[in-house]
Structure formats: structure tokens, C-alpha cells
Amino acid sequence: MAVPLTILPNPMKPYLPTCEQCFGEFVEALEELRELTEEVNRHKDDLEKYRPDIVRLFETSHEKALDTMRTYFKEQGRPPFSGSRDITVEAFHEDLIDDGQGWLDMIIARIQYNPLYPGNYLGSISENIIKKYFSLLENFERNFKKQMDK
């Protein structure tokens, strides 16, 4: 009796997700941030306890958005970008994002935030996430959906 041959993925070849897969992961991460933001808006008195989760979900959502952009441009045959700033600028030129400066501010905020060092930056970054950055991520979601529907 012949034993069926199971073909396993090549461990030497890296897994490269598609643009649609990256966008799906971004949408999932953004939905978690959306739910938390709604929770925070219902319980503004308890904002302090939500701050670490707000920042964590924001960082995940932002990184997934950048992964989506990177994969989108790669699938178009564009050369690799040197970093998140270059991807952001290109995404602005391609109308994937509306506010290029706001996105660059998000990158700077992520660089400045470091939970290992003392300071109250957790407070200011979490407030900026709720007031500014969340809507920028939602706008990217809307714009990218339009792009994918073309």
C-alpha cells in the first residue's frame, strides 16, 4: 500500500503574505483598536488603565498598515523601501493616505515612545492615538479598500 506523500513548506523559503492577507491582518488589528477606543470613550474616567493597551494596539495597527503598503508596492514591482518614512511618503503620493504629515508624526511618536524609560509619554501618545492617529488609520482602511476594488 502506497503512503501518500505530504509536501511541507520549504523552511528555507520565507513566507510572503499577499497584499490582501496583510490588509486583512491590518483590518483585524484596527478593529481591536476601534473596540478599545469605543470602550475608552464610554469610560473616560478610567483612561489611565487603558493607556498601555491603546499604545500596544496602535503600534500593531500601524505596523500592519505599513506591511500592507510595503506588500502592495512590492506586488507592483517597485523596489524595496529603506524604511517606514519612505513607504509613508510613497503611500501619500499614491493617495493611500490623506495626511502625509500626520503619518510621519505617527512614526516619530512610535520612535519617541519607549516603555523602558521613565516619563509620561504614555499619556501623550495615548491621547494622540485617540484624538488623531486612529482616524488616520481608519482613512487608510477606507482608501485602501477603494484601491483594492479598482
pLDDT at residue 114 is higher than 80: no
pLDDT at residue 115 is higher than 70: no
pLDDT at residue 122 is higher than 60: yes
Tally of domains within the chain:
1
13 falls within a domain: no
Range of the domain at 140: 19-149
pLDDT at residue 15 is higher than 80: no
100 falls within a domain: yes
Distances (CA, A) of 62 to 34, 46, 55, 67, 137: 13, 24, 10, 9, 7
pLDDT score, position 16? 74
CATH number at 106 reads 1.20.120
pLDDT score, position 20? 95
pLDDT score, position 44? 79
pLDDT in tens, 30-67: 999 999 999 998 987 788 888 889 999 999 999 999 99
10 falls within a domain: no
| Bigger pLDDT: 97 vs 4 | 97
| Bigger pLDDT: 92 vs 126 | 92
Q: What's 82's DSSP letter?
A: S
CA distance 134 to 87: 19
When the pLDDT of each residue in the chain is averaged and rounded to a whole number, the result is: 87
pLDDT score, position 86? 95
